Structure 1
Amino acid sequence: MRVIVRTVSELCITLGALIVLFVAYVLFWTGVRADSAMSDQIDRLHRQWSSGSVRPADPPGGRTAAAPGPRPYRDGEPFAIMYVPRLGSTWNKPVLEGTGRDVLARGLAHYRGTARLGQRGNFAVAGHRRTYGDPLKDFPELRPGDPVVLTDGTTWFTYRIDKGPYRTVPTDVEVIDAVPRTSGYTRPGRYLTLTTCDPEWGHSHRLIVWAHLDSTQPVEAGEPAALRR
């Protein structure tokens, strides 16, 4: 009996230690790695942009036949940086193509098949609420009228939130449609959708905000007004 009790006790202690280590990994180490990875992605973009190895985005009215088109987004690669003043004056995250687990561990993820940045349609982006750097931890604080600013190295794009945070279920994929049914939009436009998990430490639901493209300006003109407040 003593041997059985001792064995069970040792197994419980071992299991408890493993659980503690796993929680520490999820809460702390994934954040350390993600913060480092996101910083690396942003540094990589700045190096690309400073070397001139990026084509400008299509202008809002479309490009001419003689002008070369923008480079396609490459799966798993960063192509823009997002700033959300409501989430903090120093909050900025890289946006990468695709929504795979490895992508979400390195920044925000652009849904394949949705619009390109600044273009007609719905530019849809996802991010973790918790773990992996907690990029969208304060997502519920977003409000209509808040700016969401992005740059691709040549242009600043300022979007304005129109609706949200809106709570729905993961199967509600219509939230990233070109004209999302529950967004309040009734006609095609240049929209942005941000999505994250809810509740804070779960994933049974999703939180959504929708925004429209409010203005653009070349990077040579300096930061947009939304970032200078």
Structure 2
Amino acid sequence: MSTVAPTAPEGGGARSVVRGVGEVFITLGLVILLFVVYEVYVTDIFSAAKQREATSALDDRWGTPADPERVERFDGLDEGAGFAKMFIPTFGADYSFTILEGITEKTLEIGPGHYPDTAYPGEPGNFAVAGHRVGKGAPFNDIDLLNSCDAIVVETRYNWFVYRVLPKADEVADWAGTRAADPRCVGVSPLGAPYDKVVGQRIVSPGQGEVVAPVPGLPGAENSVGEQVTLMTLTTCHPRFSDRERLIVHAVMVKQWEKDPNNPGALPPELKETV
């Protein structure tokens, strides 16, 4: 009895190619998904542990005998050293990050980093701080939600400094008739020249480093300013999951609370503010 070899189904080769391509895409999709999970969630776990260590180290330093003159000293800080704490009350009572010196990738994996050569807390000029928006602790994940007059409270060894977000671009013209009446906006108003272009929030390109200049947007202008405004600037990537642009938040210092050595547990009332 003779036999006949089975005939391959028509189009079988094409189906194999399609199946192979599909499997490749599925594998790539899984790899990308795992990468996203790692970047968004796993790095948060690692960064949270590093942030706790930095905060503990800072608390230990603050626990050593105080300077009799109670003078803040920020000179000689090493890259990655914590020197202050930042609170944003509208983000909840548990929002607290130790600010570290420097903006290297290693430092920003621990927490918000201070731009070298910018002012320190409470100093005239621009106290500029960078932070991740997604993963690695994501301290600045929600800073796009900050509104004008929202408080950013900075704690140093001997002081509390209260900064408040400046008016946004679309609020400047009508500020006197709108937000100016809000009790939280005391000390906040559109700034005059040469700060008249400095607003509460803006989007810039990564190359616009002048946003952290003493007079944001005008590097060198500070030399002609009789008395520099005391500012704080937050910078992060924009939009989320991209570094195509930078989101910038500018705030102005409105108050300083000197810590009472006889009542070290006293907190500024701004820490109790909510949305």
TM range (shorter): 0.7 to 0.9
DSSP-derived class of the 2:200 partner: strand
What is the Cα deviation at residue 71 of structure 1?
4.3
1:134 counterpart letter in structure 2: A
What is the Cα deviation at residue 166 of structure 1?
1.1
CA 203–141 in structure 1, closer or farther in 2 if over 3 Å, else same: same
Q: Deviation string for 1:168-196 (max 9, x for gaps)?
A: 111111111111138xx976121111111
CA 181–9 in structure 1, closer or farther in 2 if over 3 Å, else same: closer
What is the Cα deviation at residue 24 of structure 1?
2.0
Does the CA contact (< 8 Å) of 1:128 and 1:135 recur in 2?
A: yes
Does the CA contact (< 8 Å) of 2:82 and 2:99 recur in 1?
A: yes
* Identity between Structure 1 and Structure 2 (%): 33
2-structure distance, mates of 1:180, 1:27: 31
Q: Deviation string for 1:125-145 (max 9, x for gaps)?
A: 011111112211111111111
User: TM-score scaled by structure 1?
Assistant: 0.83
| Alignment match, 1:228 | 272
| Alignment match, 2:213 | 177
CA 8–160 in structure 1, closer or farther in 2 if over 3 Å, else same: closer
What is the Cα deviation at residue 72 of structure 1?
2.9
For residue 34 of structure 1, the aligned residue among 47, 64, 89 is: 47
CA 228–12 in structure 1, closer or farther in 2 if over 3 Å, else same: closer
1-structure distance, mates of 2:244, 2:120: 28
Compare the two structures and name the one with the higher strand fraction. Answer: 1
CA 9–172 in structure 1, closer or farther in 2 if over 3 Å, else same: closer
Instruction: Give the number of equivalent residue pairs.
Output: 216
User: For the aligned residues, what is the CA RMSD?
Assistant: 2.6
1:52 counterpart letter in structure 2: P
User: TM-score scaled by structure 2?
Assistant: 0.70
Does the CA contact (< 8 Å) of 2:74 and 2:83 recur in 1?
A: no
CA 212–57 in structure 1, closer or farther in 2 if over 3 Å, else same: farther
Runs of at least 5 residues in structure 2 that lack an aligned partner in the other structure: 1-12, 167-198
Would you say 1:216 and 2:256 are equivalent positions? yes
2-structure distance, mates of 1:213, 1:12: 52
| Alignment match, 1:136 | 140
Give the structure with higher Rg (CA): 2
| Alignment match, 1:66 | none
| Alignment match, 1:105 | 109
Mean alpha-carbon deviation: is it higher for 211-220 or for 192-201? Answer: 211-220
2-structure distance, mates of 1:39, 1:23: 24
| Alignment match, 1:65 | none
Q: Deviation string for 1:55-94 (max 9, x for gaps)?
A: 8445xxxxxxxxxx55432211111110011222210111
| Alignment match, 2:230 | 190
